[in-house]
Structure 1
């Protein structure tokens, strides 16, 4: 179960950031709350190479902008929406993201370790060459997301919908897909080597497997 804000050990130390978020900013124990922002969002922000540690983001909408190379360590996010934002080459460590949404986001080359997504929606997110280790997608929806050339290790997806995912040239190690309510791989079926699926999921994927090796199935 996702933690609540009051459960965070650093909650009482949180303060609002002084001024606008800045490139190469170093932020410890800050809370960025959409309720305190004009219009509740951050448009076209440039926060590249920043660092957030023991920090919280709540009800914030990021539209476009860049947070490339930013590091998120021990952060908690709830009701955060990202649209067309650049998060490429970011680093996420010990993070929890609850009821968030990403659409048209670039996360290519990002590194995520011990990250938990719960109740989140991902639409057309670029996860190419991403590095995921001990990452959970719980009750999430991932649609038209591209994990090509990524490395996924100890990833789980309980209760999640995986629709039209690309896994071309991805490397999967101890990836458990059995909890997915929908498992639809549009590209890179051979990259499922290293994943665990159920017998029913295998039956559902059988037509795609046949097509991928040039087998025609005709009754």
Structure 2
């Protein structure tokens, strides 16, 4: 799966530029948000359908339970934003940045993240199905108690990632250039890794099993 180009979107020619403020329970259908910045607002329970966001910044703000259905995003920044319990379906995120963002309890299906940077993003108890991370950097991302099905990490860097009590099915980590876990080695059941990655994870696995490794 790869991010679609803007001109390839089936609804691209119908998009209308959006100006103004986002509101709670707002309905945004075939709109294009570009070169905009939104501050600390409450726009929860909103709905974005067949829309595009480019060069948009969200500073804090609460967007809980918002729906993103067939949405295209490029160069979108989320900083300290609450996206808990949001629903993402068939959405492309290209070159985005998420820092201190809450995605706990979110549901993501058929979502592609390409060239994105995640810093301290909370995916706890989220559901990810058919999600692809390509060329992404994930620092201190927390997937604790999340359910990951058919998820791929290709050409990604994972640092201090947490998978504690997560459930995995058909998760492919072989393409990760760096697989640094803070916890959750036991949750890798259902994931596929390379032999080299297995060697890198050996110390964590030994600690989990209570095995003492001594050369003397």
TM-score range (shorter-chain normalised) is over 0.9
| 1:190 matches 2:191 | no
Tell me which residue corresponds to 1:109: 105
Tell me which residue corresponds to 2:173: 177
Unaligned ranges ≥5, structure 2:
none
1:84-99, aligned counterparts within 5 Å?
84-99=80-95
Tell me which residue corresponds to 1:24: 25
Tell me how far 1:163 sits from its aligned partner. Answer: 1.0
Q: What is the CA deviation profile of residues 104-144 of structure 1, one whole-angstrom value per residue up to 9, with x for unaligned ones? A: 00000000000000000000000000000000000001110
Match of 2:133 among 131, 137, 148: 137
- Distance in 1, matches of 2:20 and 2:78, equals 21
- Distance in 2, matches of 1:190 and 1:69, equals 31
| 1:205 matches 2:206 | no
1:28-107, aligned counterparts within 5 Å?
28-34=29-35, 37=36, 41-107=37-103
Relative to the length of structure 1, the TM-score reads: 0.95
8 Å contact 2:19–2:33 — kept in the other structure?
no
- Distance in 1, matches of 2:82 and 2:33, equals 18
Structure 1 window deviating more from structure 2 (132-141 vs 160-169): it is 160-169
- Distance in 1, matches of 2:119 and 2:108, equals 18
8 Å contact 2:164–2:183 — kept in the other structure?
yes
Unaligned ranges ≥5, structure 1:
none
Relative to the length of structure 2, the TM-score reads: 0.97
Q: What is the CA deviation profile of residues 133-163 of structure 1, one whole-angstrom value per residue up to 9, with x for unaligned ones? A: 0000000011101101000000001100111
Tell me how far 1:17 sits from its aligned partner. Answer: 2.8
Partner SS for 2:38: strand
- Distance in 2, matches of 1:44 and 1:95, equals 24
- Distance in 2, matches of 1:114 and 1:51, equals 17
Match of 1:122 among 107, 111, 118: 118
- Distance in 2, matches of 1:63 and 1:214, equals 44
Partner SS for 1:74: strand
Change (3 A) 1:61 1:18: closer
Partner SS for 2:16: coil
- Distance in 2, matches of 1:106 and 1:177, equals 23
Tell me which residue corresponds to 1:3: 4
Partner SS for 1:115: strand
